[in-house]
Amino acid sequence: MSALWTSEEIAQATGGVASAPFAVSGVAFDSREVTDGDLFVAMKGEATDGHRFVDKAFGQGAAGAIVSEPIAQPHILVQDSAQALEAMGRASRARMQGKVVGVTGSVGKTGTKEALFLALDRICPGEVHRSVKSYNNHVGVPLSLSRMPRDAAYGVFEMGMNHAGELAALTRQVRPHVAIVTAIAPAHIEFFGTEEKIAQAKAEIFEGLEPGGTAIIPYDSPHVATLYTKAEQHAARILTFGFDPAADVRARDMVPAEGGGTLVTATLPGVELCFTVGAPGEHWVSNALAVLAAVEVLGGDLAAAGLALAEMPGLPGRGERRIVPVQGGEALLIDESYNANPLSMAATLKQLGQEQAKRRVAVLGGMRELGDRSRELHAGLVEPLTAGAVDYAILVGDEMQPLAETLKGVMAFDHVPDTAKATHLLQSEIRAGDAILVKGSNSIGLSRLVAALQEAKN
C-alpha cells in the first residue's frame, strides 16, 4: 500500500522544507487523535499552540509533523501551519481522479453525508472517503481533504458555515462534481437576520462546482427559488428532491416499516425504486431522497444504495436509539443531543409522536445562535410538542424560559437551569415503557445526560 503522503510531496504542496525523508499514513491536528504513522499538524490558535504537543504526538506514533518552528523530530517547516494544511487539502483534491460530492444545509448534512458514504461504499467497497465527525469548517474541510487516499473512487465532504462567504471558500477547496443542499432552517440566524440570507449563504456551495456539475436542492423548501437561481449560474444540471409531486426525485408512497423505519416508493427520472430507510422519521426520508439523487447522478447502483439506506444506523447525537434498562422494564432513549434548531426540533418531535410508548418524554435544551428571534422561536416549540403527543417535558437552560411560560397549563413539564439538574431529574422520573427524546444545541451539553444514562445501563 502506498503512503498517503511522502515528505517530498508535503513539502511540494506546502512550499515548506523537509528536515528528513519520511512518509505518513494519516493526518491529524489534535494530538489526542494521533496514531501510528500520522502527520501531526501543529497549528497556533487563539486558545493554544499545537507546538506544545509535538512531543506527545510523536510519543503516540507520529511519523512526521508540519511546524512553523524547528523541532528535533522529522518535520516540514512552513511559515503558517494552518495555511499549509489548506494547501495539502488542495493538492489532495488535485491528485484525486474520482468523483466528489459536497453536502451542506441547516439540518441533515452529517446524516446525509454518512448515508451517501454508506451507499457509495456498498457500490465500491473500500474506495470511498468522507469527512469524519462534523469536520466541516475552515480547518476540518482541508483536514478531511488531506486525508483522502489518492486512488479514492469517491469523496464525500460536509461543509458548514455561520457567516456569509465561508461556504464559498470551502467549496472552492472541495470542488464538488455534485453539490447537495439538504434543507434551510433558522440555524445561525443571529448572524444573518433572515432565513432568505441563510439560503443565499448555503447556495454558495454551487460556486465551487466542477464544469458539468450537478446541484441537488430541496423542492419543498420555501427557499427553493433562491437555491435554484444560484444553481443555474454554476450547474450544468439541477435535480430537486422532496415530497411534492413536482420534485425530480420524490417519495411517492411512505408506510411505516418494521423496526421504526420507513418503507418508501421513490420516483426518479426514468426509474422507480422501493426501499427502506432504516432510521425513523420523515426527515430521514428526505435525506435518503437527496442520497438517491446523488447516486443517480454519479451513475451508481440505486438498488445497492437502497440496501445501504435500510442498514443505516442512527448516529450518536443525531438520532441514535438506545434501550435503557429501568426499574420494571426498559425505556427507549433517542439521542439527538448534538444540534438543534426550530426545523429539526419539529421533525424529531413529530417522530417522537409516532413512537409506540406508554409515555413520551422530551428533554429539550436551548437552541443557540437565534439572535433577536430566540424568544419567539423557543416559545413556538409548544406546537411541535403538542403535535408530538408529548406527555412530559424537561426544559434545560435559560433559552427555554419563553417555552416554559407558554407551556403552563398545556402539559406537564419541569424547567431546570442545566444538564446536571436535568440528568438528576430524568433519572428519578424515567419509567418503563417511556420513549425519551433528548435534543438541544451541542453547547448545552445534553450528550452528558445521554452518557450518564448509558453508564447507568452498564
pLDDT the model gives residue 153: 98
pLDDT digits (tens, 9 = 90+) for 13-65: 999 999 999 999 999 999 999 999 999 999 998 788 999 999 999 999 999 99
* Grid cell digits, residue 6: 511522502
pLDDT the model gives residue 260: 78
pLDDT-derived band at 133 (thresholds 50, 70, 90) equals: confident
Query: Residue 314 carries which DSSP code?
Result: P
Sorted by where each begins, the domain ranges of the chain are 5-79, 96-310, 320-457
**pLDDT over 90, % of the chain:** 82
pLDDT-derived band at 450 (thresholds 50, 70, 90) equals: very high
pLDDT the model gives residue 188: 66
Say how far apart CA 139 and CA 89 lie, in whole Å.
10
Cβ distance 394 to 364 under 8 Å? yes
pLDDT digits (tens, 9 = 90+) for 325-380: 998 999 999 999 988 989 889 989 999 998 989 999 999 999 998 988 999 999 99
pLDDT digits (tens, 9 = 90+) for 222-264: 999 999 999 999 999 999 999 999 999 999 999 988 777 899 9
Cβ distance 306 to 273 under 8 Å? yes
- HSE at residue 368, side-chain half, CA atoms within 13 A, is 12
Write down the residue that cell numbers 486525508 correspond to: 147
pLDDT the model gives residue 391: 97
Q: CA geometry: angle at 109 spanning 104 and 114, to 5°? A: 125
pLDDT score of 457 more than 70: no
Mean pLDDT of 409-425: 96
pLDDT score of 189 more than 90: no
**Residue 345 forms beta bridges with which residues?**
none
φ and ψ of 132, to 5 deg: -100, 160
- For residue 441, what are the CA distances in angstroms to 10, 130, 317, 319, 342? 38, 24, 10, 14, 11
Mean pLDDT of the chain: 94
Kindly tell me the number of DSSP H helices and DSSP E strands found in the chain: 16, 22
Q: Would you state the CATH architecture of domain 320-457? A: Alpha-Beta Complex (3.90)
pLDDT-derived band at 149 (thresholds 50, 70, 90) equals: very high
pLDDT score of 159 more than 90: yes
pLDDT-derived band at 265 (thresholds 50, 70, 90) equals: very high
Adjacency order of strands within the sheet including 38-41? 17-18, 75-77, 64-67, 38-41, 26-28
Say how far apart CA 403 and CA 400 lie, in whole Å.
5
Cβ distance 14 to 66 under 8 Å? yes
Please enumerate in sequence order all residues whose Cβ is within 8 A of that of 297, keeping only pairs 6 or more positions apart, or say none: 178, 214, 216, 237, 239
pLDDT digits (tens, 9 = 90+) for 54-91: 999 999 999 999 999 999 999 999 999 999 999 999 99
Position 154: which residue type? Y
φ and ψ of 150, to 5 deg: -65, -25
Long-range contacts of 58-62, Cβ-Cβ distance < 8 Å, separation of 24 or more: 60/31, 60/34, 60/35, 60/36, 61/34, 61/35, 61/36, 61/37, 62/28, 62/34, 62/37, 62/38
pLDDT digits (tens, 9 = 90+) for 272-321: 999 999 988 899 999 999 999 999 999 999 999 999 999 887 778 888 88
Question: What DSSP element (H or E) covers 193?
Answer: none
447: number of Cβ within 10 Å: 17
pLDDT-derived band at 132 (thresholds 50, 70, 90) equals: confident
**CATH for 5-79, options being 3.40.605.10, 1.10.150.530, 3.40.50.300, 3.40.1390.10:** 3.40.1390.10
**pLDDT over 70, % of the chain:** 99
Cβ distance 295 to 303 under 8 Å? no
Task: Give 258 or 432, the one with higher predicted confidence.
Answer: 432
Adjacency order of strands within the sheet including 359-365? 320-326, 329-336, 434-439, 359-365, 392-396, 412-416
pLDDT score of 1 more than 70: no
pLDDT the model gives residue 456: 65
Cβ distance 120 to 128 under 8 Å? yes
Mean pLDDT of 206-212: 98
pLDDT score of 135 more than 90: no
Class of domain 96-310: alpha beta
pLDDT digits (tens, 9 = 90+) for 90-106: 999 999 999 999 999 98
pLDDT-derived band at 418 (thresholds 50, 70, 90) equals: very high
Cβ distance 159 to 174 under 8 Å? yes
Say how far apart CA 174 and CA 328 lie, in whole Å.
52
